Structure 1
Amino acid sequence: MARTKEFDPDAALQSALELFWRRGYEATSMADLVEHLGVGRASIYATFGNKHELYLKALERYGEAQGPRLLNELSQPGPALPAVRAVVRRFANEATTEDGRLVGCFITNTATELAPHDPAAARTVERSWEHLETLLHSALVRAQAQGELPADRDALGLARTLLVLMQGIRVVGKASPDPARVRAATEQALTLLD
């Protein structure tokens, strides 16, 4: 009797995340997942559910990995505006590197590919955006309290503007061969914080 190959579900989920991130949902078949993960179709179904459920689990994992990094970057003691600017510039730099153009941001990719017609994917994207918006808003409120940003500025409106800019950076950065476009727009938008 053949023995079922054992596998590490955590490593398989990470591998699925990387494949979905690189290729997208629609362009990734179950056969692709079986080959890439080195795990049988039945084991994938038994562990993760169908392709859609596996995709959503991979998307959740991506968000869980990004959240702590952003929290750390935006909640350091000291001046808050330099941290906000650094995060926005990091998004721009990542979007304009060769690897960044090839894969983009998994959340942004999902927003453009699945969220318009997939309520579960849309909820995950929205949670991610709400988290980023909350972190930016908190940092901007802290900047106001520390006198870095005038108190009469709309911190929530600025946070939302930066969120939209950062997601747009990821879309344009993925499609455009001209990094100057993204970098110039980023620097122009950051003047809102002056």
Structure 2
Amino acid sequence: MARTKEFDPDAALQAALELFWQRGYEATSIADLVEHLGIGRASIYATFGSKSELYLKALDRYDEMRDPGLIAELSRPGPALPGVRTMFRRFAAESTAEDSRLRGCLVSNTAAELGPHDAACARRVERSWDHLETLLHASLVRAQAQGELPADRDPRALARMLLVLAQGLRIVGKASTDPARVHDAAEQALALLD
């Protein structure tokens, strides 16, 4: 007869996500997970698989929690560029806010820590970046169609530039104690949309 789980797997996954986000993959041991989740090693393995599988599930959860406001900002009726500017400035603000700065973005953290040598993580990072790039591209195409963006600009290339710079803002914001570095860079990027 199978034993019933004495913990909430959903809450445990959220707790694992928070720990990985705070410490990173390599710096989080199974012992750390056992202590932080308050469940046994065997329960972790039985429910989530290996540490690597648990990390992938946590990264998927993070992706599912994607800011719903982002889609709303970039798809409001009317002018499109204000939404792009708002989103980019919000990324800069989040990157320098003391309460979130040290954690950074889990996708950016994963790209830097695991992306070069973990194909499953790299695919998830690419999926997240593809999503953001697609949202930005659609907004910039709309901006161009509405006359907000000059006709000689390439919306795809601009979307990619903004994506790369947004990820850079996340990394620099996490490591720098000078918020002006991030905010000045964000404003210079946005000036390219004029």
The TM-score normalised by the length of structure 2 is: 0.95
Unaligned 5+ runs, structure 1: none
Aligned to 1:111: 111
Q: Which amino acid aligns with 1:142?
A: R
- In structure 2, list runs of 5 or more residues that go unmatched: none
More displaced, 34-43 or 131-140?
Answer: 34-43
Q: Does residue 180 of structure 1 match 2:176?
A: no
Q: Secondary structure at the match of 2:102?
A: helix
CA RMSD of aligned residues (A): 1.3
Q: CA deviation at 1:68?
A: 3.3
Where does residue 161 of structure 1 map in the other structure? Answer: 161
Matched pairs, number = 192
Percent of aligned positions with the same letter in both sequences?
Answer: 76
Q: How does the TM-score come out when normalised to structure 1?
A: 0.95
Letter in 2 for 1:110: T
Deviations, residues 121-153 of structure 1 (Å, cap 9, x unaligned): 000001100110000000001111111112221
Tell me which amino acid in the other structure corresponds to 2:41.
R
Tell me the distance in 2 between the aligned counterparts of 1:40 and 1:61.
Answer: 21
- Residue 10 of structure 1 is matched in structure 2 by 10
Residue matched to 1:98: 98
Question: 1:148 aligned to 2:148?
Answer: yes
Matches within 5 A, 1:43-62: 43-62=43-62
Give yes or no for contact 1:5–1:39 (8 Å, CA) kept in 2.
Answer: no
Match in the other structure for 1:83: 83
- How many angstroms does 1:5 deviate by? 5.9
Question: Contact 1:81 / 1:139 at 8 angstroms: preserved in 2?
Answer: yes
Contact (CA 8 Å) 1:100, 1:173: kept in 2 or not? no
Please give the alpha-carbon distance, in whole angstroms, between the structure 1 residues aligned to 2:9 and 2:61: 13
Aligned to 1:134: 134
Alpha-carbon offset, residue 97 of structure 1 = 1.1
Name which of structure 1's ranges 103-112 and 90-99 shifts more when overlaid on structure 2.
90-99
